[in-house]
Structure 1
Amino acid sequence: MAARTTDRTAGRGTGRVTVLAPSPELRVLVEPAPDGTTEIHLHTGGQGAWVGRMARTLGADVELCLPLGGESGVALRALLEAEGLRLSVVGIGADTTTVVLDHRGERDETDAESGDRVADAPSVLTRHEVDDLVTAVLTSALSGDVVVLAGSQPPDLLPADVYERLARDLRAQGLVVVADLSGAQLDAALAGGVDVLKVAHDELPGDDVAPDDVDALRAAARELQGRGARSVVVTCSSEPGLLVTEDGDAHRLRAPDVTPAQTRGSGDALCGAVAARLAQGADLLDAVRTATAAGVVSVARQGHGTGDRAAVEAFAERVGVEALG
């Protein structure tokens, strides 16, 4: 039986996705060139940007709602637009976060993350900036199908109650809400109601849940459903992921094995793929199968949340799906 998400998605399929991206980053990577010199790369970053990137890769019409400010904001805006993402920009008084990573002497960008880095970020959005960001999300969402609520870094950059209000108001307008959150922001979104929650196994409620403990994973997912999530997607590191739908069906999804180039952004790629496929009219199980493949393609590449549509579709055919009794 196909996994249902919600009756509100059935038959719409406009392919439009809105992403709340409260913490965009301009990422500057310094790395050695093959000829022994140094290369400088400018990348778009932040959870919302990586979610939107994969959704766009899979053919969705994506609009990011995000705060931008200063010279770094100007540069990041140009990079995001070059990726084919539409932007609803809230101007802020602070500079957009800039992260400088020195890759020289490190194996890859993931290693560079734990080494020397320079980061500058706004500590908090002002009340007026928060209001404008909420308005941008609501306005963008009303012309689409699916809204992704991404978290902020630091967590108090955006007040947690914003997530409760947005989740409740968006669902009241018949929109599908996908969330990838943790901590107080997750609690708030659940209070407002979420259609599809993506969560990592090590962020599940209660005691630490092993990624191969299926019974414990299902129990934790059901707890989240009791708190306001209609369906839950649990990512489990190298173990098969878990989907628990609103009608109680559960499936494990086994991704094809690849050698990781890096792992950061793979969960965001998965989330973006779920949103894209739901916006295109797919049922939830098909969306999560495709999303599992998107995560595989992402980890096989150096770029966070990057991929190729043909590669994702090819790997999706190799994702194993097991219905659980």
Structure 2
Amino acid sequence: MTTGRVAVFAPSPQLTVTVEVLDGEPDIHIHAGGQGVWQSQMIESLGVEVVLCAALGGETGQVLRHLIGVALKARDVSARNGAYVHDRRDGVRDPVVVMPADPLSRHELDDLYEMTLVEALGAGVAVLSGPAEDDEPVPDSVYERLATDLGANGCAVVVDLSGGRLAAALEGGPMVVKVSHEELVSDGLAKSDSLPDLAVACEKLASSGARCVVVSRAAEETLALLDGDFHLVEVPRLSTVDTRGGGDSMTAGLAAGLAQGQSIEESLKLGAAAGAVNVMRHGLGSGSGDVVRELVGRVRLKRWEDDR
């Protein structure tokens, strides 16, 4: 039973510094970042109440507390949050400095888990997001526990993970799994990025009990397995500024739709529209809810028959 609210598990948000160019001069942007932050921002843009569950520590954590910008439930920890500096003055992100997050202690982890469990059960919809690719603030087993405990108590669980974190979350039987074609190939779940090979991977993921498996394919049509049927998702073509964050916005739209009581199909359309809007903007996880809602009616689901 959803309540029109989403809880997002983001164990360790990042402090992000991006250098761009404005009128020929360096232009520095400082934001809260990381998968869960970007997802939370888009969920709120879509008019759905959201709460971000995270651990904050060190100087980076102190700054992040003031930058996150959505409702926050934070556990104060001694572990530092990670940070990065990117130079995008030539139009391409060039990592200058990357500081990984510190791992949480046992007691910090227990407190974060309990806090997330309470918030997610109260919300009715939960998004399990991962930290930065090379960060390991929490063990993979946390994702299995959360997916299991939340699902068993009536919470709709949406996971946007890869690698060991995805494998662990699948053991908990989430409702929705969102993954990119690149992640499926790199994780060894798909032999290639061809549609037939991705379809095989989708069926593997669905065997965990997921009702919906969504595979984003960069500029190509998204592949979705909905209640046993394959679909290709057509979205309006928009100019691309930055492809990073498009998949996170898709996940946010999926979760927002479920929180609003929409069907899996309608939630997928909302997610696809949100992802399409994000790539035409500089800010990750950004986009006007009005624009997203306007595009939803232009999203099409086409049945795809696998001829294996």
Unaligned runs of 5+ in 2: none
| Equivalent position to 1:64, from 37, 49, 52 | 52
CA contact (8 A) 1:191 1:228 kept: no
Partner of 2:203: 222
Corresponding residue for 1:283? 263
Q: Indicate the residue corresponding to 1:24 in structure 2.
A: 13
Are 2:39 and 1:51 aligned?
Answer: yes
RMSD (Å), alpha carbons: 1.6
- 1:159-188 CA-to-partner distances (Å, cap 9, x unmatched) read 011111111000111000000111111111
Partners of 1:23 and 1:117 lie apart in 2 by: 20
Alignment-mate amino acid for residue 290 of structure 1: L
**1:125 correspondence with 2:104:** yes
- Within 2, Cα distance between the matches of 1:307 and 1:89? 25
Answer yes or no: is 1:14 the counterpart of 2:36: no
- The question of 1:245 aligning with 2:226 is answered yes
The Cα of 1:318 is off from its aligned counterpart by 1.4
**Structure 2 vs 1, CA of residues 320 and 230 (structure 1 numbering), >3 Å: closer, same or farther?**
closer
Could you tell me how far apart the structure 2 residues matched to 1:216 and 1:33 are?
44
Q: What SS does structure 1 have at the residue aligned with 2:237?
A: coil
* Partner of residue 26, structure 2: 38
State the TM-score, normalizing by the size of structure 1.
0.88
Percent same amino acid at aligned positions? 41
Q: Is the 8 A contact 2:190 2:200 kept in 1?
A: no
1:3 aligned partner: none
Write out aligned runs for 1:70-219 (5 A).
70-81=58-69, 85-104=70-89, 106-107=90-91, 111-112=92-93, 115-153=94-132, 154-204=134-184, 205-210=188-193, 213-219=194-200
Counterpart CA distance in 2 for 1:320 and 1:280 is: 20
CA distance in 2, matches of 1:92, 1:49: 18
Query: Within 5 A, what are the aligned runs for 1:297-316?
Result: 297-316=277-296
* Inter-partner Cα distance in structure 2 for 1:278 and 1:217: 25
Separation in structure 2 between the aligned mates of residue 156 and residue 237 of structure 1, nearest angstrom:
26
1:229 partner SS: coil
Structure 1 position 257 matched with structure 2 position 245? no
CA distance in 1, matches of 2:190, 2:145: 29
Amino acid at match of 1:166: L
**Larger CA deviation: 217-226 vs 265-274:** 217-226
Q: For 1:38 and 1:214, how far apart are their aligned partners in 2?
A: 43
Following superposition, the deviation at residue 306 of structure 1 comes to 0.5
Using CA pairs under 8 Å that are at least 6 residues apart, name the structure with larger relative contact order, 1 or 2: 1
Tell me if the contact between 1:23 and 1:47 (Cα under 8 Å) persists in the aligned partners.
Answer: no
Q: 2:301 maps to what in 1? A: 321
Secondary structure of 1:158's partner? coil
Deviation track 1:221-273 (CA, whole Å, cap 9, x = no partner) reads 11111134332111112111122123x12221111112210111110000011
Cα distance, 1:91 vs structure 2: 1.0
Structure 1 counterpart of 2:77, one-letter code: I
Cα shift at 1:155: 4.8
Comparing 223-232 with 282-291, which one deviates more in the overlay?
A: 223-232
What is the rounded CA distance, in whole Å, between the counterparts of 1:267 and 1:274 in structure 2?
A: 11
1:271 corresponds to: 251
- Tell me if structure 2 keeps the 8 A contact 1:23–1:66: yes
CA deviation string 1:115-149 (max 9, x = no partner): 24122233311111111111111010121110000
SS of alignment partner, residue 143 of structure 1: helix
Residues 270-315 of structure 1: CA distance to partner in whole angstroms, max 9, x if unpaired? 0011001100100011111111111110000011111001111111
Deviation at 1:207, TM superposition (A): 4.0
What secondary structure, in the 3-state scheme, does the structure 2 residue paired with 1:68 have? strand
Contact 2:190 2:198 in 1 (8 A): no
- Separation of aligned partners in 2, 1:207 and 1:241: 15
Go from structure 1 to structure 2 and tell me whether the alpha carbon gap of 1:156 and 1:122 turns closer, same or farther (over 3 Å shift): closer
| Structure-2 separation of matches of 1:130 and 1:16 | 24
Helix, strand or coil for the counterpart of 2:298? coil
Change (3 A) 1:207 1:39: closer
Q: Does structure 1 retain, via aligned residues, the 8 Å contact 2:84–2:95?
A: no
